[in-house]
Amino acid sequence: FEADLRRVFDGTPRHPLLVGLQPTVRRRALTPEPFLGLIAANRQDQRVRRYETYEELLAYCELSANPVGRLVLAITGTTSPERVRRSDAICTALQIVEHLQDVKEDLGRDRIYLPAEDMSRFHVTQADLAAPTGSASVRALVAFEAERAGSLLNEGTPLVGSVHGRLKLLLAGFVAGGRAALDAVAAAGHDVLPGPPKPTRARLMREVGAVLRRARREG
């Protein structure tokens, strides 16, 4: 698939999906790097099932999440170094939030996205993650990682106010979704083991409004 993807940029791809992608690539002058990053992330998921440090997890998010935001900016013609930096923060935050919601599901596939060094710091073992409900240590660990994700969302939020129109609404929805998910995790006492805490639609819409109001103030 990677070889066929490369033909999108310098030849004629064979896969129907990539054939359909080629006009957009040419019209928007997209580069191969974001697409190659997503493929690399899929490969990494096949061979890496644990992350020792937070920095290693961020490097994974650089492949698995950040390319999506960069493609959105490129397709809408709004790319700039500052916007890319803030987009990366948002995308990484959303990936971490998803990992927090899916701790039990990921463990069922023999994957742990909580950094091992943090698990050790909070005295959390793999057996603790397999329990029906989270112990005080597990909940403290999830709260710690959730705070990190929240800081990243705060770092990225000014991106919303730097764009206009439909893109502003789209990005506000992404940020609001992350904030609402973090609120749901907090409302569950940071116990994510019984099942993924999900925000209500009403909560999500309130967060969208709050993000847009902040964007107007900062704009």
Q: What is the DSSP string of 98-114?
A: HHHHTHHHHHHTT---S
pLDDT in tens, 78-125: 999 999 999 999 999 999 999 999 999 999 999 999 999 999 999 999
Helices (H), ranges, 11-65: 16-28, 33-47, 54-64
pLDDT in tens, 118-146: 999 999 999 999 999 999 999 999 999 99
| CA distances, 38 to each of 18, 61, 62, 191 (Å) | 14, 10, 9, 30
- Give the pTM: 0.95
User: What is the rounded distance in angstroms from the CA atom of residue 141 to the CA atom of residue 118?
Assistant: 7
pLDDT in tens, 180-211: 999 999 999 999 999 999 999 999 999 999 99
Residue where the block lists tokens 């091992």: 116
The confidence band for 219, taking pLDDT boundaries of 50, 70 and 90, is low
User: What is the rounded distance in angstroms from the CA atom of residue 37 to the CA atom of residue 58?
Assistant: 13
Sorted by where each begins, the domain ranges of the chain are 49-218
Phi, psi of 157 (to 5 degrees): -55, -35
For residue 199 the two structure tokens come to: 């925000």
108, burial (CB in 10 Å: exposed 0-12, middle 13-18, buried 19+): exposed
User: What is the rounded distance in angstroms from the CA atom of residue 210 to the CA atom of residue 148?
Assistant: 20
Please state which CATH number belongs to domain 49-218. 1.10.600.10
Phi, psi of 16 (to 5 degrees): -55, -35
Dihedral, 137, 140, 142, 145 alpha carbons, nearest 10: -130
Dihedral, 122, 105, 62, 69 alpha carbons, nearest 10: -130
User: What is the rounded distance in angstroms from the CA atom of residue 21 to the CA atom of residue 5?
Assistant: 9
User: What is the rounded distance in angstroms from the CA atom of residue 93 to the CA atom of residue 155?
Assistant: 10
**DSSP summary character for residue 122:** T
Task: With a cut of 90, say whether residue 214 has pLDDT above it.
Answer: no
